[in-house]
């Protein structure tokens, strides 16, 4: 029965020592006491490995108790030295030194134990365990209390194993304490490492969200800039470079949309040009001619609504589209515009205006332009500086 318990103890200590050491060393990146504590379990792990591989026929309990003494001594050094000094690198090396020493002692078991009594090892275990337990009790208020209690359970279990008159009941108690200690110890390491790992995951997630958010806003910003640039280019493609009014293609498309609209709503167009514009260009120069055109556009824009459209048809010829206005309403707008142009000076110039209305004067763009052109021709025949319709006035 005792042999079964010792085998169970061997398996438990090996598995948990391996898990604690490997899990902490590989998953936990910070250099602090946690790694030092986990390094102590390498002593137990190495001792068990040597026992299993090389000392199957030897009395393995003594070697196990000796490794516990080395484990306890290392823990005491870490506990005392680590409080006052942050040179963790030295303590890492010390863990490997203790491990190597434990392996050498185990391999030289027959020679060494000729001079070292088994009772001495048991006393070493009990003294080391007692010293470590007393130290942990003294510092019970610290944040590592769960770990310290776990180590205390492990060492107390070894005290039970080292009792001279060991029976199966004491062995069972010792194993229960040992198993509880290893489970508690692994839980302590797992919680800290997992918590640290999750903190890094959350930090990475926040960083990812920040990058994605920045990327999203940057893409959105660039998209808006591109859209504005495209709109600007589209607007430029629709406007006349000299006057900034719609160009011929754009104003013709506007009329096309109105004529093909399902609403079939009435609208009128004004076609006008500067009277004797060729004479202005020939006598005063093309610079003055361009100035007259810009002045004409400025007056036109000031005398139409926000829903109306102004476009340059060609040369000094322009078209104004007046949605919802009949021929008579369009005549009022045209007369007001004509009189404002007649007030210009330096140079003084006038305009003639022809009116056409949808659908009375035409149902297509071509028909409306033709009707407005006839009205413009009639205004010229009437002596210029006039407003005319192809049939009404």
pLDDT of residue 114: 46
* Angle, vertex CA 138, rays to CA 34 and CA 44, nearest 5: 40
Which of 77-81, 100-104, 191-195, 248-252 is the least confident region? Answer: 77-81
Tokens at residue 31, please? 């250099």
Q: CB under 8 Å to 213, separation ≥6 — which residues? A: none
As a whole number, mean pLDDT of residues 113-135 equals 55
pTM greater than the 0.75 cutoff: no
Judge whether residue 393 has pLDDT over 60.
Answer: yes
As a whole number, mean pLDDT of residues 309-316 equals 94
pLDDT tier at 267, thresholds 50, 70, 90: very high
pLDDT of residue 324: 94
Answer yes or no: CATH 3.30.70.270 is held by domain 248-389: yes
Judge whether residue 1 has pLDDT over 90.
Answer: no
Beta strands 309-314 and 351-358 are unpaired
Long-range contacts of 21-28 (CB under 8 A, 24+ apart): 21/45, 23/189, 23/190, 23/193, 24/189, 24/193, 27/193, 27/197, 28/192, 28/193, 28/196
pLDDT tier at 337, thresholds 50, 70, 90: very high
pLDDT tier at 186, thresholds 50, 70, 90: confident
Domain ranges of the chain: 2-205, 248-389
pLDDT tier at 384, thresholds 50, 70, 90: very high
As a whole number, mean pLDDT of residues 256-285 equals 94
Residue 298 CA: distances (Å) to CA of 67, 141, 159, 343: 100, 87, 105, 13
Q: Which tens digits make up the pLDDT trace of 134-182? A: 555 555 445 567 777 777 777 777 766 666 555 777 778 878 887 888 8
pLDDT tier at 368, thresholds 50, 70, 90: very high
Q: Which tens digits make up the pLDDT trace of 45-60? A: 887 787 777 765 455 5
């Amino acid at each position: 029965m005792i042999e079964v318990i010792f085998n169970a103890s061997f398996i438990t200590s090996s598995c948990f020592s391996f898990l604690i050491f490997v899990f902490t060393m590989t998953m936990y990146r910070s250099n602090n006491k946690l790694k030092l504590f986990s390094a102590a379990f390498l002593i137990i792990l190495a001792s068990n490995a040597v026992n299993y591989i090389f000392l199957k026929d030897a009395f393995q309990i003594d070697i196990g108790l000796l490794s516990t003494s080395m484990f306890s001594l290392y823990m005491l050094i870490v506990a005392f030295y680590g409080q006052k000094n942050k040179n963790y690198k030295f303590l890492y090396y010390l863990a490997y030194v203790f491990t190597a020493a434990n392996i050498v002692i185990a391999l030289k078991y027959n020679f060494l134990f000729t001079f070292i009594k088994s009772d001495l090892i048991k006393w070493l275990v009990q003294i080391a365990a007692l010293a470590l337990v007393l130290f942990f009790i003294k510092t019970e208020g610290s944040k590592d209390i769960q770990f310290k209690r776990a180590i205390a359970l492990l060492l107390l279990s070894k005290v039970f194993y080292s009792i001279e008159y060991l029976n199966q009941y004491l062995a069972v108690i010792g194993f229960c304490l040992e198993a509880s200690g290893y489970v508690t110890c692994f839980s302590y390491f797992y919680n800290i490492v997992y918590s640290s790992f999750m903190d890094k995951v959350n930090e990475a997630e926040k960083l990812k969200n920040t990058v994605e958010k920045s990327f999203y806003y940057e893409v959105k910003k660039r998209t808006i800039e591109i859209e504005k640039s495209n709109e600007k280019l589209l607007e430029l493609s629709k406007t006349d470079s000299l006057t900034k009014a719609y160009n011929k293609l754009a104003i013709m498309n506007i009329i096309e949309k109105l004529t093909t609209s399902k609403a079939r709503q009435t609208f009128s167009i004004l076609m006008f040009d500067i009277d004797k514009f060729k004479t202005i260009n020939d006598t005063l120069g093309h610079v003055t001619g361009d100035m007259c055109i810009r002045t004409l556009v400025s007056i036109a824009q000031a005398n139409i609504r926000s829903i109306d459209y102004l476009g340059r048809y060609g040369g000094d010829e322009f078209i104004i589209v007046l949605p919802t206005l009949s021929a008579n309403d369009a005549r009022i707008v045209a007369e007001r515009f004509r009189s404002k142009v007649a007030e210009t000076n330096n140079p003084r110039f006038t305009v003639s205006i022809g009116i056409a209305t949808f659908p009375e004067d035409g149902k297509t763009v071509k028909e409306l332009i033709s009707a407005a052109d006839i009205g413009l021709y009639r205004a010229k025949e009437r002596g210029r500086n006039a407003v005319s319709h192809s049939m009404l006035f």
